[in-house]
Amino acid sequence: MRSGLVLHTFLNLPRDHSTHPQSARAEVLLPGGSCEQSEPSVRSPRLLRRTLSGAIRHRGFLLLLFLLGTIPGVYLPIPARALTPDEMTTIAAFEKVAPSVVNISTEICEPEYFYCAVPSKTGAGSGVVMKEDGLIVTNHHVVASAKNIRVTLTDGRRLNAEIVASDPNEDLAVIRVDPGGRPLQAIVFGDSDKVRVGERVFAVGNPFGLGQTLTAGSVSMTGRSLRDEGRIMRDLIQTDAPINPGNSGGALVNSSGDLIGLCTAILSPTGTSIRIGFALPSNRIRAITPTMVRPWPKILGWTAALLVAVWFIKKVYGRRAGTYPPGF
């Protein structure tokens, strides 16, 4: 039967169609609403009766299916819906990055509150696993003034953390946990210099302390500058993926699940997302955090530069002093 046609069949036909040839007709309702009379073949009623008799013989099986569908807790199989390519991309990106994003809860100490004897308030944020041995990067404002820091992993483990280094100017902090004999899964860094406006991105974090959450959007602009508490943060990635309080320190990844930014700030008159969020580019994180964790190369570099400058000054002014007359 073609799509759009409704066929009224032979349920009301007499048993002997040889004596009632005029009654063996079928009405076909066409899409326009008109009816058309058609002469069926002589075999059609017999085929229909055989089909109905077969259904009656199997009425016990049909009744069983009906009863199973009415029993609580018993469900008949439903054909699975095929995922679209876009949905499959989103799922693959989340499953890749999820084990590398952690939830951070803090107990914040304020000096004027009983001299920090007890924490005055709590906070929530996110972090990204940099190394399997427990090194995690987050925002400075997530762990600033924190007395206690606890990290919740995707496998349910809750671990105490300590601050390794923190840079308020870059709004970056590195914390460490002890994973024991179960190493963490480090995130895969992408190249933030290759990010293009309009590229699809996903934000994974811990908004409002709810737990790991995925939001989707696109890159709105690159190279943004933002003034925050007297400092200017430059070269940020702007995105319309919803970012809310608690997302700070979470991952901004591309459609391949590679880290391209660290969710850092939002622009909002209400304090919640209006789809204007900012992330520190991953290349800056990769360049800065090693010097934060191991500052000695940087200190030695500055010390060597200072010694060279002193040697050069002494050399130049020593020669000039030798040319002067005695007692000058």
Q: Which positions are annotated as active-site residues?
A: 141, 171, 248
Positive or negative torsion for Cα 117, 118, 119, 120: negative
Question: Would you report the helix, strand and coil content of the chain in percent, each value rounded to 5?
Answer: 30, 30, 40
Neighbouring residues of 90: CB distance < 8 A, sequence distance ≥ 6 = 202, 214, 216, 255
Phi, psi angle pair for 62, to nearest 5° = -65, -40
Encoding tokens for residue 149? 């820091």
The arrangement of strands across the sheet holding 35-38 comes to: 6-8, 26-29, 35-38
- Distance (Å, whole) CA 247 – CA 208: 8
Strand boundaries in the chain, DSSP class E: 6-8, 26-29, 35-38, 101-108, 121-129, 135-138, 146-152, 158-167, 172-177, 200-205, 213-228, 231-239, 251-254, 259-266, 277-281
Pick the closest to residue 292 from 133, 136, 132 (CA basis): 136
- Distance (Å, whole) CA 185 – CA 179: 11
CB atoms within 10 A of CB 309: 10
By three-state DSSP, how is residue 252 classified?
strand
